[in-house]
Amino acid sequence: MQFVAGVLVLAGFAFAGGANAEPYMAVREGYKCSQCHTNKSGGGKRTDYAQVYMQTRMAASRSFFDYYYRPPLDGASEPPAPLVGRDYPHGRLSESFSMGADLRTTFNYDYPSGATQRSSFNRDLSCETCHKSTNGGGKLAEVYFQFEAVPGKASLYVSENLVPTVASREMFALLEGMPLDTYVKVGTFRLPTTLIPTFDDPFLHGGQTLGARASSFDGVVGLEPVRANGVEVGLEPGPLSVSLSVTDPADPTKVTLDKRLALNAYAIGKRGMAGLKYSIDPIDEGVTRRVSGVYGGLHLGRLTGLIELDNVEADSTSGGSSTKSQAGMAELDFLLFKGHNLKYLYEFLDPDTGTSNDIRDRTSLIYEPFLTPYLQVRAGYRAKIGPPTEAAANGKKYFLELHFIY
C-alpha cells in the first residue's frame, strides 16, 4: 500500500502545473490558503473574498440573506420583489473589524468490531473529556475576530473556542503587504496541516507517544493539527507559498527543550498543486521527532484529486533506537453540479514500520451538498480495517453532519 501511495504522489507531481472549506476547493480553483483565510497557513476565519465566493460560486442556491424587499407601492397588491446584492452578511462590520464563525453538529451511528452498536451526537464522551481538559474542541464551535489597525497591513486576530469549553484558541498579530507578499505572524496560531482533513473525525490523530495507540483512537503524534506559541514568517510571490515557523514545543512545561521548526512550501496553478513539508519537533529531553511529507493535487474538469504521503521518525538523542511511522491519504472529489460534491477518501496508517501486521486504513464515501452560502450538509459511510486484535481499529460508521458557516 505504501508503494501505491508513493506512485500516486509522483503522478500528482508529474501533472501538477489555501483554501475554502476544504483543500480540494483550493485545488479546484487554483487558490492559495491566504486567498480565503486570514490565517495564511489555512483554517479559521474567512477573508472577504471567501465570503463573496461562498455566496456566488460555492453554494447551490442563494441564501435569503442575499435578498431584501422593496415595499409595494400604495394600493399595489403584488408581493414585494427581491433585490439581489445587499452587502450585509459578509462578516465585515466596518472597514477595520470583521468576524466569522463555525458550528458543526454530527449524528454518528457506529458498528464497531467487537462491541455493540451505538449512536451519538458529535464526539464520543472519551474524546470530549480530553478536548475539554486541553482546551480543545476542534471544529465543533468557534468564533473568529479580526481587527485591522491598518487595513491590509497590520491586524490582530483572535479565535475563540466555545465547545466543549470556552477558551482562546488563537491570538496573533499579523503584518502583511510587504515585498514578495511577505508576512509575519507573532503569537498563538495554528500550524499548517497541508491536505490532511482536520475536522472530519481525524484518522491521523495523535496519541501520547510516537507509535503508541491510545484506547480511544489511533494515530501518530505530529500529523494532527496543533496550535503553538511563536513566530511564523512567510512569503507568497505569484503561485508560490513558503512559510517557516519557530514555536514552543508541544509540552510547554519542559523549558529545556529546543524550539519546534516547521517548513511548508507549495506551488499552485489552474490545474493542480505540489508541495512539501518538514518539521523538527523535540517531544522529550531524549527524543526528537522529524516529520517529512509530500503532497499534491490535480484538477480536471469536474474531477479533483488529492494525495499526501508523510513519514515520521523519532530519534533518540541518547543513542537509542529510532521509531518510524508512515501515513497517507488519497482523495477524489467529483462535482455533480453546482453546490453538490461527492467525495471518496482513503487514509492509511502504519504506526511502526518495523512491526508487521499493524497497518490500519480507512475508506469514506461522502455526499456534500452546500445548500446555501451558510449551510453545508455532509452524509457519509466510513469503514476502518486494522489488526483483528484491536476492536477500536475496526468497524463502520454512518454519519450526518450539519456545518453552519459565517
* pLDDT at site 22: 80
pTM of the predicted protein model: 0.82
Mean pLDDT of 225-235: 88
DSSP classification of residue 64: G
Where helices occur in 114-247 by DSSP H, the ranges are 125-133
Whole-number percent of the chain with pLDDT over 70: 76
Average pLDDT, the chain: 79
Does residue 305 have a pLDDT over 80?
yes
**Strand 97-112 to 82-84 pairing:** unpaired
Does residue 85 have a pLDDT over 80?
no
* pLDDT at site 20: 38
* pLDDT at site 346: 95
* pLDDT at site 332: 97
Are 37 and 18 a contacting pair, CB within 8 Å? yes
The DSSP bridge partners found for residue 362 are 347, 384
Q: What is the pLDDT of residues 295-304, one digit of tens each?
A: 999 999 999 9
Mean pLDDT of 254-282: 90
Higher model confidence: residue 303 or residue 142? 303
Higher model confidence: residue 302 or residue 284? 302
Q: Which amino acid is at 276?
A: L
Q: What is the pLDDT of residues 7-24, one digit of tens each?
A: 333 333 333 333 335 889
* pLDDT at site 133: 63
Domain edges within the chain? 2-69+85-405
Q: What is the pLDDT of residues 36-74, one digit of tens each?
A: 899 888 888 988 888 888 877 787 776 544 544 444 444
Q: What is the pLDDT of residues 323-339, one digit of tens each?
A: 888 989 999 999 998 88
* pLDDT at site 57: 79
Are 317 and 331 a contacting pair, CB within 8 Å? no
Does residue 158 have a pLDDT over 50?
yes
Does residue 130 have a pLDDT over 50?
yes
For residue 405, give the C-alpha cell: 458557516
**Strand 97-112 to 118-121 pairing:** antiparallel
Q: What is the pLDDT of residues 86-103, one digit of tens each?
A: 444 467 888 889 999 989
What CATH number labels 2-69+85-405? 2.40.160.10
> Cα(126)–Cα(354) distance, rounded to whole angstroms?
30
The listed range with the strongest mean pLDDT (103-117, 139-153, 188-202) is: 139-153
